[in-house]
Amino acid sequence: MIDFCGIRLAGPVLNGSGTFDAIAAERAFGDALWEAFPFDAYVTKTITLEPRAGNPPPRLWETPAGMINSIGLPNKGLERFLAEDLSRLAPLPVPLVVSVMGHGPGELARLVGAVAEREEVAALELNVSCPNVESGLIIGSDPAETARAVAAVRPLTGKPLIVKLTPNATDPPAVAAAAEEAGADAVSLVNTLKGMALHPRTREPWLGGRTGGVSGPAIRAIALAQVHAVAQRVGIAVVGMGGIQTGAHARDFLDAGATVVAVGTESFRDPAAGRRIRAELAALTEADGGFAQARPHPGREEPRPMWGTGKKPANTRKTVKQPQRT
Amino acid sequence: MTVADPRPRTLAPFGRRRAVVREVERLGAYVRLRVDDGEGPADPRPGQFYMLAAAERWGAGADERPFLPRALSFARVTGGPALDFVLEAVGPGTERLAELRPGEGLWLTGPLGAGFPPPERGRPLLAGGGIGVAPLLCWQDELGPQAVALLGFRSAAHAEAARLFAGAVEVATDDGSAGHRGSVTDLLAAELDRDGEATVYACGPPAMLEAVRALCADRGVPCWLALEAGMACGYGACFGCVVPTRDGYVRLCVDGPVLDGALLEEVA
């Protein structure tokens, strides 16, 4: 068992938000999905206050060792998610994490308030890769904006709050530190990197949303560096992701400081990828002496438990200012 | 989607599985792969599809692709089960699939999506364009040889695929090098002129499907269209394969690929 922000997980492999739709997967695979559920916690696609149709197609482009998506967060909105989807997720054999996105602290507070009070929900993830409608800034690209968003929802729930960090920021560790200061229990990273493809003939942007997010093994080295930098900076749990395809890749992220890992694009290639990666990781770590054994962390002076059961000592290099309260 | 969905759906085993190429046949411009899928269900429904990727060297082709699996309707299923796929090498994914040899491995997920529903009215008429004729093969097998398949191709080299059909076939080619010179919608219009009591099933390129949809809408004939879109996952995870409908965007992989023509404003 792994302790992730106080939630007990049977293993360290989650899904990245928006990369696995358990309700749709049940339509394709039936009960076999629940019997062999590939993740140790399930993170939903991002929910917004109002329904969203998403971006016009085309929404996908294949890149060398990866892809670009321009999906645009289609979802049925908070009300229908609570009324329809939560009950359909009842057969889920693992803890449920609900991802929410709001255009500013007010919207986020309404979402978090309504979702957190449902007993089916174990934790919430804040998708901050969107603009604040008031300031125009991408919330997650700015430490102060991120801190304001977290501070606005922190008093509303005692459940773990995970902040999903965008790699499209000047200083992701500073954003992570601001989230920690404002009371986040964990950070997850990386979200997709901004990318573009041109139509082979018209030479206009191919994707309906013009730009999209690059994911897959093409971004793994970038993700690993960001996870490493963030884990050095914060003491809270870190969910590491970005192009993980094998147990060895997952171990890289854990050894770079992640508490748990998430699988995203690889699930598109194999719906059961999470299960395979978990088994490969278990075989690797067993050879090292097991999951729970404390191992020295590269760049850290002292060993710490792999699964975030303890906070690491306060980081003296922290330079983040106390966030402004609104 | 409707409360009582008439479209049949055989569930897929969870996760991708390794299958083996048993036979490769060149058919003019196309390639037919027969794949041993011993772990898969023996009863996929016509119109359903599979996600395919070569087990080796998937990647490291042109532009370091392919990366994602490719969605292909199955053309036929025989004992074993063995699945037939018909494909045309048009990009890095289909090129890699087309060069597979007997004995080589293939990753398969499926069957996925919803298939063709039984005819609700009159006789079934099948209309296929190009590589889109593939799912009509098994559908004609099931409906019976009297279910006429109207097939449109660019040229005689592509029209080789018509040989795979066991039942009644009419062929049209763009250049007149085989069959009727013109489009498959010409053939469909003539059939509907003869007897308009029919249910139409179509698969092909978007312009052809739009012509079929408009023709059927015009004549008040029910039609079911098997659409195609680039897919990353095939099971509803990525939301990448949406098409606009009167009900908003729907994911072709889980809400299709077979859609009621009446649901579509236009096939774009």
Catalytic residue list of A:
130
Q: Do residues B239 and B252 make contact, with C-beta atoms less than 8 angstroms apart?
A: no
pLDDT in tens, B26-64: 999 999 999 999 999 999 999 999 999 999 999 988 888
Same structural domain, B259 and B129: yes
As given in the structure block, the two tokens for residue A132 are 């604040």
Among candidates A36, A38, A69 on the partner chain, residue whose Cβ is nearest the Cβ of B238: A69
What confidence score (pLDDT) does residue A295 get? Answer: 44
Q: Do residues B248 and A56 make contact, with C-beta atoms less than 8 angstroms apart?
A: no
Residues in A closer than 8 angstroms to B65, CB to CB, are 62-64
The set of residues, in sequence order, having a beta carbon less than 8 Å from that of A260 and lying 6+ positions away, is: A2, A4, A9, A12, A13, A14, A40, A41, A237, A239, A240, A254, A307, A308
What confidence score (pLDDT) does residue B63 get? Answer: 83
φ, ψ dihedrals at A320, nearest 5°: -75, 135
- Nearest alpha carbon to residue A127 among A201, A72, A170, A171: A72
Residue A303: count other Cβ atoms within 10 Å of its Cβ.
11
The answer to whether the CB atoms of A269 and B16 lie below 8 A apart is yes
Q: Of B112, B132, B154, which residue constitutes the final position of a domain?
A: B112
The answer to whether the CB atoms of B11 and A271 lie below 8 A apart is no
Determine contact: B96 vs chain A, CB below 8 A.
Answer: no
CA dihedral A59, B201, B117, B165 (to 10 degrees): -110
| Interface residue of B70, B233, B243, B264 to substitute, partner A, most A CBs within 10 Å | B233
pLDDT in tens, B183-226: 999 999 999 999 999 999 999 999 999 999 999 999 999 999 99
In a domain, B161, yes or no: yes
What confidence score (pLDDT) does residue A289 get? Answer: 60
As given in the structure block, the two tokens for residue A156 are 């509303």
Q: Do residues A36 and A191 make contact, with C-beta atoms less than 8 angstroms apart?
A: no
In a domain, B247, yes or no: yes
Residue B173 β-bridge partners: B153, B181
Q: Do residues B135 and B110 make contact, with C-beta atoms less than 8 angstroms apart?
A: no
Determine contact: B7 vs chain A, CB below 8 A.
Answer: no
Size of interface A-B (CB pairs under 8 A): 125
**CATH number given to A2-288:** 3.20.20.70
CATH number of the domain enclosing B22:
2.40.30.10
Residues of chain A with pLDDT under 50: 292-326
- The boundaries of the domain holding residue B227 are 123-263
Same structural domain, B57 and B37: yes
In a domain, B9, yes or no: no
pLDDT surpassing 70 at residue B116: yes
Q: Which segments of B182-248 does DSSP mark as H helices, in order?
A: 184-194, 206-219
Same structural domain, B172 and B232: yes
In a domain, B202, yes or no: yes
Classify residue A247 as exposed, middle or buried by CB count within 10 Å of its CB (0-12, 13-18, 19+). buried
Same structural domain, B198 and B130: yes
Same structural domain, B105 and B162: no
A30: left (phi over 0), alpha (psi -120 to 50) or beta: left
Same structural domain, B76 and B129: no
In a domain, B2, yes or no: no
What confidence score (pLDDT) does residue A320 get? Answer: 38
Q: Give, to the nearest 10 degrees, the angle between helix A220-233 and helix A247-255.
A: 30
Same structural domain, B172 and B258: yes
In a domain, B251, yes or no: yes
Same structural domain, B167 and B192: yes
pTM of the model: 0.92
Nearest C-alpha in B relative to A74: B239
What gap in Å lies between CA A126 and CA A17, rounded to an integer?
Answer: 10
Cis peptide bond N-terminal to B81, omega within 30: yes
CA dihedral sign of residues A291, A247, A44, A150: positive
Specify the number of domains making up chain B: 2
Interface list for B 225-264 with A (CB within 8 A) = 229-244, 248-249, 251, 253-254
The answer to whether the CB atoms of A269 and B254 lie below 8 A apart is no
In a domain, B54, yes or no: yes
Nearest C-alpha in A relative to B240: A59
The set of residues, in sequence order, having a beta carbon less than 8 Å from that of B198 and lying 6+ positions away, is: B119, B121, B122, B123, B124, B125, B191, B192, B221
In a domain, B193, yes or no: yes
Q: Of B85, B112, B139, which residue constitutes the final position of a domain?
A: B112
What confidence score (pLDDT) does residue A138 get? Answer: 87
What gap in Å lies between CA A99 and CA B80, rounded to an integer?
Answer: 43
Same structural domain, B61 and B170: no
φ, ψ dihedrals at B245, nearest 5°: -135, 180
What confidence score (pLDDT) does residue A300 get? Answer: 41
Residues in B closer than 8 angstroms to A23, CB to CB, are 236
Looking at chain B, the whole-number percentage of residues with pLDDT higher than 70 is 99
As given in the structure block, the two tokens for residue A107 are 């919207």
Q: Quickly count helices (H) and strands (E) in chain A.
A: 11, 14
What confidence score (pLDDT) does residue A310 get? Answer: 42
Nearest C-alpha in A relative to B113: A28
The SS3 call for residue A227 is helix
The answer to whether the CB atoms of B254 and A28 lie below 8 A apart is yes
What confidence score (pLDDT) does residue A290 get? Answer: 56
CATH number of the domain enclosing B258:
3.40.50.80
- The domain locations on chain A are 2-288
The answer to whether the CB atoms of A71 and B230 lie below 8 A apart is no
Same structural domain, B130 and B94: no
As given in the structure block, the two tokens for residue A35 are 């019997």
CA distances from A228 to A93, A208, A231, A285, A320 (A): 31, 34, 5, 19, 18
The SS3 call for residue A190 is coil
Same structural domain, B53 and B178: no
Same structural domain, B152 and B77: no
What gap in Å lies between CA B224 and CA A42, rounded to an integer?
Answer: 36
Q: Of B52, B85, B112, which residue constitutes the final position of a domain?
A: B112
